[in-house]
Amino acid sequence: MKYAYCGNSGLQLPRMSLGLWHNFGFINDYEMAREMILHAFEMGITHFDLANNYGPPPGSAEINFGKILKENLASHRDEMIISSKAGHLMWEGPYGDGSSRKCLMASINQSLRRTGLEYFDIFYTHRYDPNTPVEETMQALVDIVRQGKALYIGISKYPPMQARIAMNYLKERDVPCLIFQDKYSMFNRKPEEEILDITAGQGSGFIAFSPLAQGVLTNKYLNGIPASSRAAEPDGFLREEQVTVALVEKVKKLHILAGERGQTMAGMALAWALRDERVTSLIVGARNTDQLDDSLKALQNLTFTQEELARIDHILDGATL
């Protein structure tokens, strides 16, 4: 495993972190989840990314992770970075959604109970909430650190202006923002417009989720939409109509270049997302250990020539997802 310092902090994160957004809830195979978490740790993945609403049902990924931690990895707790988040809908009523102090404090207490942890290494505000002043949200995070419930603070998916306000507020109170989490991939390069400059200027790290664009940047959709894919799920975040013919044609061209580099399509997409030194780590998901190993192989070839990067830019021109 390769590691990188997170912004200006002394904390190192693995270049690839394991996300428990999918495949770790009660509806999934518990033994497979256990096998993936243990295998990830054995391969040097020390960072495990959770949120209060991960499952389904919400909260179940934290419960399963806590059980696996207690039964198999308890003696390795100090070798792990465990993160969680709050901000999206978790329970019904006025206090189970958003980024108010009430919601964040209740959520972290629940998350700690579900995982059986004394503290999280990183705790995020999961989204910007336009109905709550940024200052209220940030003060709650400052207090969470001062109460010993988290070691570091992160923010996720904040618009640039609100991100600056949040980071300045945290810095002024000596609880700097460790890391910014956002969607980033070949098909979603929006962080390059402002956020990566903001995080670098603030001395924060950046961690990308969905670096494979929900599986589109693999060979999965080259010949149609498989029944077992996320695009085939009626309630998934990736919709069938998003996997257009034009998008697949771009993936086919990228697939050819990946082959020339001796990589899979997924491997090249992950390596590409790490090409920018401002990107600390990628959150990767997996259905099984073979998929996880395939992602990790990307670390064996992270270097691109200028010609390759120009060719990728030409293929991607105008592509979004």
pTM: 0.93
Question: Are 261 and 301 contacting, i.e. CB atoms less than 8 angstroms apart?
Answer: yes
Domain presence at residue 11:
yes
- Tokens representing 69 are 């931690």
Residue 235 is predicted with a pLDDT of 57
229 Cβ contact list (under 8 Å, min separation 6)? 215, 220, 221
Residue 236 is predicted with a pLDDT of 57
Give the three-class secondary structure for 220. Answer: coil
- Tokens representing 90 are 């978790």
Nearest to 145 by CA among 126, 117, 173, 180: 173
Residue 232 is predicted with a pLDDT of 43
Tell me which residue range forms the domain holding 182.
3-212+276-299
Domain presence at residue 268:
no
Domain presence at residue 287:
yes
pLDDT, one tens digit per residue, over 147-157 is: 999 999 999 99
65 Cβ contact list (under 8 Å, min separation 6)? 20, 24, 37, 48, 50, 82, 115
Residue 222 is predicted with a pLDDT of 72
Q: Measure the CA angle with vertex 32, ends 279 and 75; round to 5°.
A: 70
Distance CA 51, CA 119 (A): 14
Question: Are 13 and 3 contacting, i.e. CB atoms less than 8 angstroms apart?
Answer: yes
- Tokens representing 225 are 């939409």
Domain presence at residue 62:
yes
Low-confidence ranges of the chain (pLDDT < 70): 223-242, 318, 321
Number of domains the chain contains = 1
Domain presence at residue 241:
no
pLDDT, one tens digit per residue, over 296-315 is: 999 999 999 999 999 999 99
Domain presence at residue 246:
no
CATH of the domain at 45: 3.20.20.100
Question: Are 185 and 214 contacting, i.e. CB atoms less than 8 angstroms apart?
Answer: no
Domain presence at residue 95:
yes
The 10 Å Cβ neighbour count of residue 264 is 18
The 10 Å Cβ neighbour count of residue 258 is 23
Domain presence at residue 38:
yes
Residue 28 is predicted with a pLDDT of 96
